[in-house]
């Protein structure tokens, strides 16, 4: 087993995946929130690219949404993203999350 990298050695991708794994079920964070948690607050688009190309089931990419509660792309699978969020108790109406401010998660 390889030793875990220290925080200085961890890549931006590692830090993004760590931040996304920390989002609790039934909560969401924006691409910008995740970018800030990963140490690069202006890298929201990079987070979006990582989420679109992630493909790892252990990364709950469906919990990362666009600013203002819009669903975002989810690799072209918005209906799947909406279904996953609904399964966690989040109300999705059209392409937006209802009561977004109340379920938005912010890392500490």
43-88 pLDDT tens trace: 999 999 999 888 778 999 999 999 999 998 777 788 999 999 999 9
- Does the pTM exceed 0.75? yes
21-45 pLDDT tens trace: 999 999 999 999 999 999 999 999 9
What does the alpha-carbon distance between residue 11 and residue 61 come to, in Å, rounded to a whole number?
18
The predicted pLDDT at position 47 comes to 96
The predicted pLDDT at position 7 comes to 53
Class of domain 12-103 as given by CATH: mainly alpha
3-state secondary structure the chain: CCCCCCCCCCCHHHHHHHHHHCCCCCCEEEHHHHHHHCCCCCCHHHHHHHHHCCCCCCCCHHHEECHHHECCCCCCCHHHHHHHHHHCCCCEECCEECCHHHHECCCC
* Per-residue pLDDT at 2 exceeds 90: no
């Amino acid at each position: 087993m390889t030793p875990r990298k220290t925080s200085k050695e961890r890549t931006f991708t590692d830090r993004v995946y760590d931040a996304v794994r920390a989002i609790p079920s039934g909560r969401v964070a924006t691409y910008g929130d995740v970018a800030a948690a990963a140490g690069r607050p202006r890298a929201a688009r990079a987070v979006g690219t990582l989420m679109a190309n992630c493909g790892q089931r252990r990364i709950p990419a469906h919990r990362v949404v666009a600013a203002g509660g819009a669903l975002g792309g989810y690799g072209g699978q918005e209906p799947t993203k909406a279904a996953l969020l609904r399964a966690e108790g989040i109300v999705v109406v059209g392409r937006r999350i209802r009561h977004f401010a109340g379920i938005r998660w912010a890392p500490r």
